[in-house]
Amino acid sequence: MKLFTNNYLIMPLLFTAIILFAILSLNLRPAVSASSEKELSTKADTKDSEKRKIIYWRAPMNPLEIYDDPGKSKMGMDLVPVYEDDVSEDSSNGERKIIYWKAPMDPTEIYESPGKSKTGMDLIPAYEDEFMGGVDIKIDPVVEQNMGTKTEIVQKGLLKHSIKTYGNITIDETRTRVVSQKYGGWIEKLYANYTGYMVKKGDPLYEIYSPALLASQEEYLSAYKNFQRKKTEFNRDILDSARLRLSYFDIAETEIQSIKENGRVKKTLLVRSPVSGVVTHKNVIEGSFVKTGTSLFTISDLSHVWVEAHIFEYEQNLVSIGQEVEMTLSYNPKKIYQGKIAYIFPYLQQKTRDVIIRIDFKNANNELKPDMFTKIKIYIDSKKEVVSIFSQAVINSGERSIVFVSKGGGKYSPREITTGVQLDDGMVQVLSGLSPGEIIVTSGQFLLDSESRLREAVQKMIKAKKSSRSEPVKDEDDFFKEME
């Protein structure tokens, strides 16, 4: 009975021990499996790291904060490895790419394929690496879309260009007349008594008393009476001579006829305008004495006017006499006046260093007034074909011009170009650096330029470190000091 009781107590204890051992075995197995998996993962990462060489470590928030070993950044974040294949992924494979062919004596004479230049010389290749302004970069498609990158194809077509400049209206010098006094006398009455007075040919300007005119009148009357008494050839010659002398004094034919009809001399004679126009200068006052040779009036015909427009020195070879010009005025910009270039000054203005061109315009309604400022547009009619791109695609640094060429697959390459004149529709002429058919970036190129320059700086730093084995650069300040 006692043995049975002991066996009865031992069996539950054994069963409980077996259950506890099983539970402990299950709890220990996942822990061991996790540790094993972590160890395997570490080995796999190590194996992958051995395949991809880490060249340096950088801070996640600052690509210029770089280190030689893993650790923490200044902000306390884990450093990120940078692999060698990521940096050198877009580098050149040693093969030089020809982008176009050019003439040896004229770099603006470019071709798409090899051959002969206009002078008969062999064309020489222009390689892509000659126009690099940084290093090639590759952008992730998602980042590329977020940047709003846009591209356009480089085009080649006729030169469409118009020069937009300013001008001012001036008087047509060929339609200007000065009325000067050919004899001394006193101005008894002044009809054109203010500047801006409008006159027509034959209108009275002033009345003058002059002893010389009195003597000429008496001579004419005496010759006329002698001719009436005895109509000989000699008396006719004397009469014609006296009449001619009065006309040389600018006495109008109507005044001479009046002297003959009245049969007596006049104290004052009327001087009439020889041309139609506007009195632009007056140098006489009623009652004043004027000497022989004094300029009394300047009369200008404003039915035609000149416009003097200013163009830059480099634009003078684009204009020629007879070229069509459009002009608008500030007070009526909707009305367009048509004119043609009549003259190009053979010298530059000393102060402004520009060239003046003269344009002839009709002014029938007197809308164009001297000294008005105008807007001028000169159309360049050229049959020359040029390579052109959108001007917004060009990054101007002051010393050089850079564009980014798309190579496909998110790869972009910076290239230095030489630009020419600004064309219409926001285009710019490309003299060298691009060939037709290439694809360039027109939007988002500034972000690409920043990334390209950053990678170029990092590659230079890595190259310097490999050659000198100097101390690692710890932050961007030390980095820029080293680059200097």
Q: What is the pLDDT of residues 204-216, one digit of tens each?
A: 999 999 888 888 8
Residue 52 clears pLDDT 60, i.e. is over it: yes
Confidence class for position 34, pLDDT limits 50, 70, 90: very low
CA dihedral 462, 465, 471, 474 (to 10 degrees): -10
Confidence class for position 141, pLDDT limits 50, 70, 90: low
Closest to 87 measured CA to CA, from 451, 474, 481, 414? 451
- Using a cut of 0.85, tell me whether the model's pTM lies above it: no
pLDDT tens-digit series, residues 309-353: 999 888 888 888 888 899 999 888 889 998 889 999 999 888 888
Could you tell me what percent of the chain has a pLDDT over 90?
Answer: 15
pLDDT tens-digit series, residues 388-434: 888 778 877 767 788 888 877 777 777 888 887 777 777 888 888 88
Cβ density class 337-367: b for 16+ within 10 Å, e for less: bebebbeeeeeeeeeeebbbbbbbbebeeee
* Alpha helix segments (H runs only) across 99-164: 141-147
Contact predicate 327/341, CB 8 Å: no
pLDDT tens-digit series, residues 253-303: 888 888 888 888 888 888 888 889 999 999 999 999 999 888 999 999 998
Domains of the chain: 129-159+383-483 (2.40.420.20), 174-300 (2.40.50.100)
Instruction: Give the C-alpha separation, 269 to 246, whole Å.
Output: 11
